[in-house]
A and B are shown apart, each in its own frame.
Chain A
Amino acid sequence: MSWAFVAPWALAASALIALPILAHRMRRPPTIPVPSGILLLLRRLPNQVRASRRLEDRALLAIRVLAVLAVALAAAGLDLKLQGVLPPVGGSGRVVVVLDRSASMGAVVQGQTLLEHARAAAAQAISALPEGARVAVVAADADAEVLTDGLVDPDVALAALDRVAVTRRATRLSAAFDVARELLADAPGEVAIWSDQAGPEAVGVAVERMERLLGDGHGVLPMPLPTGAQNVGVVSAVWSEGANGGELAVEVAAWGGSAREVSCAVVHPGGAEAVLFVDVIPGKRVVERIAVPVGTPGGLGSVRCVDADMPGDDLRPWAVPDAAATQVLVVDGDPGDTPTQSEVYFLERALAPHGGSRGDLAVSVVPPAGLATLDPAVHRVAWLANVGDPRPWATPLLAFVRGGGTVVIAGGDNVDVDAFNATFGTLLPSALRPAVALAAVGERGEPVARPVAELPWPLGLDPSAFSRARARTVLSLDPYAEGGDLATWLTYQGGRAALVERTTGDGRVIVWTSTVDLAWSDMALQGAFLPLVHGISRRAGGGPTVGAAVFDVEVGVPGSWRVPDATERLNWIGPDGVEEAASVSDGRVGRTMADAGGWRVVGADGADRLRILAAVAASESDLSVPLTIREVQARAAPERSTRHVDLSSAAWAAAVALALMASVVSGRARLT
C-alpha cells in the first residue's frame, strides 16, 4: 500500500493547522466571573505567570486539526495505491481457469477438500462472467491437462469442472502456465488460478513461465482459497544394516495444526507388524527408528501413519535387501585362542560390521584348510591373512584368480614367501622376499605416505588419513616396473610398497605387505582401514549383483525398469497381492503406480526380480508456501496488481464530519 497526490502543492494547506493551535493557545477566559478577595495578590504576579497561554480543550483542538488536515488531503487529491489487489475475473472476456488437482488439494478445510472449494469458487466465477466471455478449463498438478476444447462457452466449461479430481502428484504450475499461454495466444486474456500453491516447487519452478505470460500482456489472477490445511506425511522410510536385522528409519513431517502424536503401523517384509508413535511438530521433520527383527527376509514392507487430512502421503513402502551379494572368503592363517587374538579379528569386523547378513559383502572366515572350498562361482574375494604355505591349495587359488577372483595376500610371521612365490609365480606383482623391519622395537614405525594417485575405489575420506597408519615390519618385494597390469597404490614414506596389485585378466592378486592385525602395523586401528578393505573387496566383487534391484518411483509418474532376463516370463504383484502378467518391451517393464505401495516383478520361480517403491513425492506433502504467485506478480508486473483508490471524496466527507463534530463539541463546552 502506498500513497500519491494529484496536486501535492495543496498539501501546503496543512500548514493551516497552526490556526486552531494558535486559537487554542490564546487565553479563553470563562464567561462566568468568580468573585475573589485576593486580587491584590494576583495583580502582583506577572501576566505570563498569572495566565499562561496553554492549550485548551485538547480533544476539540485534535478534531479541528484533523479537519484542517482532511481538507488539505482532499485538496491535494489523495490517491491510495493498494498493491496485491486484483481485478475481478472476466474483464478481458478470455479466461483460462486453472484448477490445481495435486495431492495437497485433497486437504480438508472447513469440511471440504480444497479442490471442492476451488471447484465451487471457479463455477461461481465462470457463471458471473460477462456475456460473450470464453473460458478454458485446465487441470494442473506436475503436468497440465486441458479439459475443454480450447476456449469455450461458460456452460461447457462449467461441465468440465466436474472432471477435475485430486491426483497423487506434486504441484508445478509451470506446465499450467505453458498451456494457458498457448490457449491465450491469439489475444490478451486472464489466467485465474485456484491453487494452494503448496510445495517447494509449486511456484518457484514456474517463475520464468509466469513472467513470460505476463510479458505477453495476459493477467494472472491467483484466486483465494480457505487456509488452515494441515497434513502429516511419511516422507521417507529407509532400512539400514545394523544389529539384529537392521533398523528402519521413518521420517515423518507435519504441516499446519499443532504438535501432536501420530501412530504409524510398520509392516515388515515377513508380515510382522509393529506400531510406532511419532511426536510431530508442524514445519519440522522427525525421524524415528525401529529395529527390524532378526530373520526378517528380504522383501517389501510399509509404514502407514494415521492422518485424516491427506491420506495419499500417509503410506510409504520400504525394502529389505536379500542376502549379501559378494561372497568374501577370509582365511585366518593364525587363529588365536580368543576372537581378539585372531589374525582376522579386525578384518572381519571391518568387512561386516553387523554380521554381514544384509550388506553387499558376505564374509566367511575359514582356516587355511578352508581354501579347499574356494569356488570361483561363489566367492569373489579371498583374503589370505598370515597364511603360511598356500601350496596345497595352489590349484583352486590359481583357478580362482584366472576365473576373475581376487586374492589379497596379507603379511605376517607365518608367511613363507618362497611358498607363495612358488604357488602364484607370475601372478604376483613381484616375487616376495622376507620381512624387513622399518623401525626398532618400541618405536611407532614408518607412516604410510599419501596415495600418489587416486585410488581405484571410492574411499569416502581424506587420503591423508592413511598417513596416521604406521608399520614396523613389512614384506619386501623384488624390484618391479610400474605400469601395465601392475600398480602400486600405497607406499610407506621410505618408499617401500604397502599395497601392490597385479591384474591378470579379470582376476587380481593384491599384496598388503604388512599385517591386518596389530602385529606389524596399527593400520587396523585407523579410520582408513574400513574403507580400504571395503574398497578392495567391492572392487573385486564388482558390486552387488545378487538379489532384486530396488527402485523408487513417484505415484502417478510412468516408470520403466530393465529386467535381468528379457526372455523370462514375469508377473507384477501389487501391494494388495494381486498378480498380473508383466509385458516386457525392449528388456524393460513399465507401469504407472496409481497409489503408494510396494510393487514386485517376480519370475517364474517366484523370486523377486525388481522391487518398486511407489510413493507420493515428499514435496507434495509439503503444505508450506515458500513463494506465491502474488509475490512473483508484484515483482514482475506490479502495475497489474495495483489498485488505485481516490480518497479525495472521503477526505472531503471526513473534513465536513470533523467540522460538524468540532462545532458540537465546542457548543457543549460552552454550555458547561
Chain B
Amino acid sequence: MTARDAWDPELADRIRKLRLASRQLARDVGLGAHASRQLAVGAEFAEHGAWRPGMALRHVDWRAWARTDRLLARRTPVEVRRPIVVVLDLSADLGVGTSAAGGRPDLNGSPAGLAIVLAGTLAVWAAGWRDPVGLDIVAGDDAPVRHLPPRPGNAALGPLLAALARARTGGRADLGEAFPALARRWPPRSMVFLITDGMEDPASWLPALRGLASRRVELRVIQLVDESQRRLDGVDLARLVSPEDGSEVVVDATVARAGLTEAAAAFDRELEAGLAAVGARRFPIPVAGPVARALAGALVGAGAS
C-alpha cells in the first residue's frame, strides 16, 4: 500500500478485502510448494550419483559403499525459488457484472472481481513460499502500475495487491500485441499464470506465445468461464453490446441458445488445441462455481481440460 492508497479509505478497505479474500482462497487451495525440476544435494533422497574428488565426504553414501564397494554420492532435490508471474486480463469484456464502490469490479460475484481475487491468491500463495512474484495487467483502466517485476517475499505482495485493488476493467486486452513485450521481461524458467476470459480469437494471440518454450517459461492459462452468459440467462430478444469496442449483436435467445452452446464448446476445443501447440495448458474456472478445486489443479499442473 502506497501513501496515496492510505489516504483513500475506500481503496484501503478494498485492499484489505482483497488480501483477506486471497488468503482465504489460498488456504482453501491448501497446497505446498510447487514442484522443482532442479536436483541438488539435500535431505530428501532422490538418486545416487558418482562421488568425485572435490566433493564433500559427507555426501558419500557409506552404506551403499559397504554394499557395492563403490563411492556413491546421495543426491536429493532442492527447493528452489521459481519466479511466478501473474498476467491479468482486465479487458472490458470481463467487466460485465456488478460493480463495487468507485466503479471497480465487485470482488464477490463479478468475473473481473474473481479474476482479481485469483491473481491475489496466486500472489499470496507464491509469497508464502517466498517465490518471487510479479504482476502484469493487460488492458483495464486506472492501473498505474501495469508491470511489477517478480520480487520475493512479502515485499512484493503489498504493492501487488494494491495494484490489483486499484484496477478497473476497460479497453481491449489485445494479447497478440501484449505478449511479445511482456515475455521479454519474464525471467527464464519462470511460471506464468494468464488469467483471462479468453474472448479473443485464438489465432490472433497464440502465435505470440511460441517463443516461451525456448526460454523454458511455463504458461498456464486460467480461463474464466461465465456459464450464465453462455446460456444467455435472462436474455430473450436482446441487443448485446461488446464493452470493448461497442459492437452489437442482436440475439434471439430462444433459437440461439442451442447453437451458442455448441459454438462455445468448439471455441474451447480450439483454444485448448492452440495452447497445447505452444506448450501451454488451459485451466477453465467457472465464474459461478467453486473455485478452490479448479485453482488447485492449475497450481499443481493437473486437471487441465
Binding site for B on A (CB under 8 A): 27-46, 49-52, 54, 56
Contact = CB atoms under 8 A, between A and B. Distances in A.
A44 B200 CA distance: 12
Given A38-B226, A40-B199, A51 B252 contact: yes
A20 B243 CA distance: 35
Nearest to A52: B255
Given A34-B241, A50-B252, A40 B267 contact: yes
Contacts of B255: 49-52, 54
B176 to A, nearest CB: 14
A26 to B, nearest CB: 11
A531 B247 CA distance: 111
Given A44-B263, A49-B255, A49-B256, A39 B247 contact: yes
Given A45-B259, A51-B250, A52-B252, A37 B237 contact: no
Interface string B205-246: 000000000000000000000100110000101111111000
A45 B254 contact: no
A27 B250 CA distance: 9
B86 to A, nearest CB: 21
**Which 8 A-B residue pairings sit nearest by Cβ, starting from the closest?**
A37-B93, A36-B240, A33-B241, A29-B239, A51-B252, A52-B255, A29-B250, A39-B242
Nearest to B234: A34
A51 B111 contact: no
Contacts of B199: 37-41
Contacts of A46: 259
Instruction: Find the residue from A34, A36, A44, A50 having the highest chain B CB count within 10 A.
Output: A36
B191 interface: no
B96 interface: yes
Contact of A30 (B111, B200, B239): B239
B240 A35 contact: yes
Given A27-B252, A42-B249, A51-B255, 15 more contacts: A29-B237, A30-B237, A32-B239, A33-B240, A37-B93, A38-B230, A39-B240, A39-B241, A39-B247, A40-B201, A41-B263, A42-B240, A42-B251, A44-B266, A51-B250
A27 B251 CA distance: 10
B39 interface: no
29 contacts: A27-B237, A27-B252, A29-B238, A29-B239, A30-B237, A30-B239, A32-B239, A35-B95, A35-B242, A37-B94, A37-B111, A37-B197, A37-B243, A38-B199, A38-B230, A38-B240, A39-B241, A40-B200, A40-B201, A41-B230, A41-B267, A42-B249, A50-B250, A51-B237, A51-B250, A51-B252, A52-B252, A52-B254, A52-B255
Which secondary structure characterizes the binding site on chain A?
loop
Nearest to A27: B250
Given A27-B250, A54-B254, A56-B237, A36 B242 contact: yes
A27 B252 CA distance: 9
Contacts of A52: 252, 254-255
Interface in B127-169: none
Contacts of A56: 237
Given A37-B243, A41-B230, A41-B263, A30 B256 contact: no
Contact of A35 (B226, B241, B254, B260): B241
B264 interface: yes
B44 interface: no
A37 B250 contact: no
B248 interface: yes
A360 B243 CA distance: 117
Given A29-B237, A29-B239, A34-B241, A45 B200 contact: no
A42 to B, nearest CB: 5
B118 to A, nearest CB: 16
A31 B250 CA distance: 11
Interface in B50-67: none
A43 B241 contact: no
Given A30-B239, A38-B230, A50 B251 contact: yes
A192 to B, nearest CB: 65
A53 to B, nearest CB: 9
Contacts of A43: 249
* Central interface residue in A33, A40, A46, by most chain B CB within 10 Å: A40
A35 B95 CA distance: 9
Contact of A34 (B240, B247, B252): B240
Contacts of B251: 42, 50-51
A38 B240 CA distance: 9
B223 to A, nearest CB: 12
B303 to A, nearest CB: 24
A34 B232 CA distance: 11
A42 B256 contact: yes
Contacts of A49: 255-256, 259
A56 B238 CA distance: 13
A40 B95 CA distance: 15
Given A38-B229, A40-B201, A51-B256, A45 B239 contact: no
Nearest to A36: B240
Contacts of B243: 35, 37
B5 to A, nearest CB: 29
A414 B150 CA distance: 153
A38 B247 CA distance: 12
Nearest to A44: B263
Contact of A42 (B94, B201, B237, B260): B260
A52 B253 CA distance: 9
Given A37-B96, A39-B240, A50 B249 contact: yes
B192 to A, nearest CB: 23
Contacts of A42: 240, 249, 251, 256, 260, 263
A28 to B, nearest CB: 7
A325 to B, nearest CB: 97
B201 A33 contact: no
Nearest to A53: B252
A30 B238 CA distance: 6
B116 to A, nearest CB: 16
Contact of B226 (A30, A37, A39): A37
Q: Which residue of A28, A30, A37, A40 has the most chain B CB atoms within 10 A of its CB atom? A: A37
Nearest to B239: A29
Contacts of A35: 95-96, 240-243
Contacts of A38: 199, 226, 229-230, 240, 260, 264
A419 B248 CA distance: 136
A39 B256 CA distance: 13
Contacts of B256: 42, 45, 49-51
A32 B266 CA distance: 30
A33 B267 contact: no
A28 B95 CA distance: 27
Nearest to A43: B249
Nearest to A32: B239
A367 B260 CA distance: 118
A50 B254 CA distance: 9
Nearest to A54: B252
Contacts of B226: 37-38
Contacts of A39: 93, 199, 240-242, 247, 249
A581 B259 CA distance: 110
B167 to A, nearest CB: 17
Contacts of B95: 35, 37
A33 B239 CA distance: 5
A37 B240 CA distance: 9
A261 B196 CA distance: 90
A401 to B, nearest CB: 111
Interface string B91-124: 0011110000000000000010000000000000
Contacts of A29: 237-239, 250
A35 B249 CA distance: 10
Contacts of A30: 237-239
A50 B200 CA distance: 20
A159 B43 CA distance: 136
A29 B236 CA distance: 10
A36 B241 contact: yes
Contacts of A31: 239
